[in-house]
Amino acid sequence: MGKSACSTSPQQLESTCFILRALFLLLCCKHACCQCKILRCNADYVAATLNLRGSNKDTAYCNALRSYSHCTRKTARTCRGDLVYHSAVHGIEDLMIQHNCSKEGPTSPPRPRPPAPNHQGFESLDICNYEKNFLYKHGQPPTYQHCAAFGDPHVRTFHDEFHTCRVEGSWPLLDNNYLFVQATSYPVAKSSNATATGKLTIIFKNMKECIDQKVYQAEIDNLPAAFEDGSVNGGERPGGSSLTIQERTPGQHVEIRAAYIGTTIAVRQAGRQLSFAIRAAEQVARAFTEEQDLQLCVGGCPPSQRISRSECRHSGIAAETARLLCKEKLPVEDVYFQSCVFDVVTSGDANFTLAAHGALEDAKMFHPDAEKLHIFQTGVGCRLNSLPFLLVIVISNLLAIQLCF
Q: What is d(CA 216, CA 226) in angstroms, rounded to the nearest whole number?
A: 7
Q: What is d(CA 278, CA 265) in angstroms, rounded to the nearest whole number?
A: 4
Q: Which of 205, 200, 267 is nearest to 234 (CA)?
A: 205
DSSP single-letter state for residue 208: T
Cα dihedral sign, 270-274-280-286: negative
CA within 13 Å, CB half, 248 = 13
Q: Which of 260, 262, 212 is nearest to 234 (CA)?
A: 212
DSSP single-letter state for residue 343: H
Strand, coil or helix: 158 = coil
Question: In tens digits, what is the pLDDT along the chain, a chain of 405 residues?
Answer: 444 444 455 555 555 555 556 555 555 444 444 468 888 888 888 888 877 777 788 888 898 889 999 998 888 888 887 888 888 888 888 888 888 999 888 887 776 655 444 444 444 457 899 999 999 999 999 999 999 999 989 999 999 999 998 888 999 999 999 999 999 998 876 666 678 899 999 999 999 889 999 999 999 999 999 999 999 999 989 899 999 999 999 999 999 999 999 999 999 999 889 999 999 999 999 999 988 889 999 999 999 989 888 767 666 788 999 999 999 999 999 999 999 999 999 888 899 999 999 999 999 999 999 999 999 988 666 765 544 433 333 444 444 445 444
Which pLDDT score is estimated for 118? 46
Which pLDDT score is estimated for 356? 97
CA 43-45-49 angle, 5° bins: 120
Instruction: Say if residues 307 and 165 touch (Cβ distance below 8 Å).
Output: yes
Predicted structure pTM score: 0.66
Q: Which of 199, 166, 175, 193 is nearest to 272 (CA)?
A: 199
Which pLDDT score is estimated for 81? 79
